[in-house]
Amino acid sequence: MRNEEAPLLRAAWERLVGSGPEARAVGEELLDRWGEPHRRHHTVRHLWQVLCAVDVLAEEAADPDLVRLAAWFHDAVHQGSSDDEEQSAALALDRLPMTGTDPARTLEVARLVLVTRDHRPEPGDADAAVLCDADLSVLAGPADEYLTYNAAVRAEYGRFSDEEFRRGRAGVLRRLLDSPHLYSTGFGRLHWEPRARANMSAELERLEADGRSEPSGFRGPPAR
């Protein structure tokens, strides 16, 4: 874990669930998970950035603290497999009761985590919209930061050949760019969408310059 983020994240966790021994133990486990050595993008840095983005969008959430709890768990399990979100939601269901979080809020956190499978919250689902937009806020960074993010995502999917990665990634980008909106909140659409689309379009142009098409059977890495 980066030294500057550790105290900030611990303080953020304590504000959410308190400083009791069980709550602290759960927080340390989550930080250990986010700090796993195989991670390159889905790291403690990403967790901190998502929490900061939730702060920006907090006025659009029905329950900002509930969204913050979901942010802590949304990639707590990350092995690059198709059931990462399901496992992360299951972890929330198991660990949150240890912090004193009541059953209804625990179930809602798990539900929000599952929405991040496809980042398509239902209309009117304000908390899911804020969580998904915060998770996708990385797409709207400055061009140099976006390139750093690209490299980190590539490193996380190192088990795929360059050709497989380029084809799969291009397919993911095309699907996202073809959607009417990348973001679901008013702030995201106004302030993040133009830059995100420019970043993704530039990345897709680089990938398509290789003249390769999307392969069958490869879902491709997520664009966040």
Question: Based on the domain organization, do 22 and 82 belong to the same domain?
Answer: yes
Kindly state whether residue 131 falls inside one of the protein's structural domains. Answer: no
Question: Based on the domain organization, do 50 and 77 belong to the same domain?
Answer: yes
- Provide φ and ψ at 76, rounded to 5°: -60, -35
pTM to 2 decimals? 0.91
Please name the amino acid found at residue 103: P
Q: Which domain holds residue 164?
A: 139-208
Kindly state whether residue 39 falls inside one of the protein's structural domains. Answer: yes
Kindly state whether residue 42 falls inside one of the protein's structural domains. Answer: yes
Pair 109, 69: CB distance under 8 Å = yes
Question: Based on the domain organization, do 191 and 109 belong to the same domain?
Answer: no
Kindly state whether residue 133 falls inside one of the protein's structural domains. Answer: no
Question: What six digits make up the tokens of 40?
Answer: 């390159």
Question: Based on the domain organization, do 153 and 91 belong to the same domain?
Answer: no
The predicted structure's pLDDT at residue 15: 97
Pair 173, 207: CB distance under 8 Å = yes
Question: Based on the domain organization, do 68 and 117 belong to the same domain?
Answer: yes
What is d(CA 1, CA 139) in angstroms, rounded to the nearest whole number?
23
Please give the chain's pLDDT, 224 residues, in tens.
Answer: 455 788 999 999 999 999 999 999 999 999 999 999 999 999 999 999 999 999 999 999 999 999 999 999 999 999 988 899 999 999 999 999 999 999 999 999 999 999 999 999 999 999 999 999 999 999 999 999 999 999 999 999 888 999 999 989 999 999 999 999 999 999 999 999 999 999 999 999 999 887 544 444 445 556 56
Q: In total, how many domains does the chain have?
A: 2
What is d(CA 28, CA 53) in angstroms, rounded to the nearest whole number?
22
Question: Based on the domain organization, do 15 and 109 belong to the same domain?
Answer: yes
Residue where a domain terminates, one of 75, 98, 126: 126
